[in-house]
Amino acid sequence: QKEVEQDPGPLSVPEGAIVSLNCTYSNSAFQYFMWYRQYSRKGPELLMYTYSSGNKEDGRFTAQVDKSSKYISLFIRDSQPSDSATYLCACLYAGGTSYGKLTFGQGTILTVHP
């Protein structure tokens, strides 16, 4: 079993739709959770960084963490064609021998149609 599981999709939605992207994780030591967006042939770009359970909002993006269920989500409101990309979730635990190493999900390919 992978430590971080993410549905690879692909996911295709019309412009303006609400998008829900999800990951589950198995390591209860994970404390920090991130979402990255990656356009084709580019490096991943950090979208959201959260620590505690609950919601964090930034513009059209909302990250949600439920540590009791080991479930993390990213919601995109009013989706735009420019949101078409691969979205990667990542988990991190600090301390010990972690050295800041992230564990990534496989990524979900999202296409938003005009």
Partner 1 sequence: SQTIHQWPATLVQPVGSPLSLECTVEGTSNPNLYWYRQAAGRGLQLLFYSVGIGQISSEVPQNLSASRPQDRQFILSSKKLLLSDSGFYLCACSRAENSPLHFGNGTRLTVT
Binding site for partner 1 (CB under 8 A): 8, 31-32, 34, 36, 41-46, 49, 86, 88, 90, 92, 94-95, 98-102, 104-107, 109
- Residue 63 CB, shortest distance to partner 1, in Å, is 12
Cβ contacts of 101 within 8 Å, gap of 6 or more = 92
| For partner 1, the closer CB: 14 or 99 | 99
| For partner 1, the closer CB: 18 or 94 | 94
Positive or negative CA dihedral for 14, 15, 18, 22?
positive
What is the four-CA torsion angle of 61, 114, 105, 50, rounded to 10 degrees? -10
- The CA distance from 51 to 65, in Å, is 8
| For partner 1, the closer CB: 99 or 114 | 99
- The CA distance from 106 to 87, in Å, is 9
| For partner 1, the closer CB: 12 or 15 | 12
- Residue 72 CB, shortest distance to partner 1, in Å, is 14
- Residue 81 CB, shortest distance to partner 1, in Å, is 20
- Residue 78 CB, shortest distance to partner 1, in Å, is 25
- The CA distance from 31 to 23, in Å, is 15
